[in-house]
Amino acid sequence: MSTRRHEGKTVLITGGARGIGRAYAERFAADGANVVVADMLEAEGRETVADLEKAGAKALFVSCDVTDEGQCNAMVEAAVKRFGRLDTAIANAGVGFHSSFLDYPEDRFDWVYDVNVKGAFLTGRAAARAMIAGGRGGAIINIASVNALLANENNAPYGAGKAAVVLLTKVMSVTLADHGIRVNAIAPGPTKTAMEAKVMADPVKLKMRTSRTPLRRLAETAEVAGVASFLASEDASFVTGQTIYVDGGRLALNYFMSEEPGGMAGKL
């Protein structure tokens, strides 16, 4: 879907080379925005940019480690230098590492937390400073997860970090409100990405996911990207400090969906 609602604006997306990050890039490009793809995956990032340009969009790739303050500042500077403005920043870069709580390696804990939390902080701060300097305000979108509220026994820093991102979003929204900058978060549930490839290929694991999701499927990346387009648009001009859970109803469900569509209600 394309609305051209971001015509002439500039969006910066960390972790934009693949997965949901690439879907954000494709959606904002379709909506008329200049797109800056920032990632450490240079080959995939440049491929994404090349595909966007083939489709008629204006795009730029920037290599960036979001845990490094200098690189985050340089990433934003490159975006403004190329396109003259920054209107939206999506702090999408994220990682995970699975290990039991009792055996979780300290260095892996630091890595996951640094990318997912510190990365959102450094990206948002650099973007906000550029937006304030530009005098037009803007929108910042952090990426959380349903794991901010639902415990995952094998990835302690991921859930803890995503919960931190939810509160960081609130703090940023209050701090930046007087500058005309809105800050919100998106918290996806299970989504069809490379990270879920093993799940999608395993009927048992896939059933575990869908049985906890009232819509009985995983999200398409484009469905999550559509929410980002809305939050960055004037249609969301009075929305700030919020976390939107794009989870197919997962958080509303107490137990599991019935094996039979309609459940008990279908028998009444």
Q: Which of 113, 162, 192, 229 is catalytic?
A: 162
pLDDT, residue 219, reads 94
pLDDT, residue 268, reads 39
Say how far apart CA 178 and CA 181 lie, in whole Å. Answer: 7
Task: List all residues 6 or more positions away from 68 whose beta carbon is below 8 Å from its beta carbon.
Answer: 122
Say how far apart CA 96 and CA 73 lie, in whole Å. Answer: 24
Say how far apart CA 39 and CA 236 lie, in whole Å. Answer: 27
Q: Where in the chain are the domains?
A: 10-193+219-249
Residues 144-180 pLDDT 10s: 999 999 998 888 999 999 999 999 999 999 999 999 9
Specify whether 145 is catalytic.
yes
Q: How many residues does the chain have?
A: 268
Model pTM score: 0.94
pLDDT, residue 263, reads 60
Q: Which of 24, 118, 145, 192 is catalytic?
A: 145
- Which CATH superfamily does the domain covering 10-193+219-249 fall into? NAD(P)-binding Rossmann-like Domain (3.40.50.720)
Say how far apart CA 176 and CA 198 lie, in whole Å. Answer: 40
Specify whether 58 is catalytic.
no
Weakly modelled stretches of the chain, pLDDT under 50: 264-268
Residue carrying the six token digits 């390696």? 105
Specify whether 158 is catalytic.
yes
Structure tokens at 172: 């940023």
Say how far apart CA 214 and CA 46 lie, in whole Å. Answer: 37
Using an 8 Å Cβ cutoff, are 22 and 45 in contact?
Answer: no
Q: Which of 158, 192, 229, 245 is catalytic?
A: 158
Q: Count CA atoms closer than 13 A to 174's CA, side-chain side.
A: 5
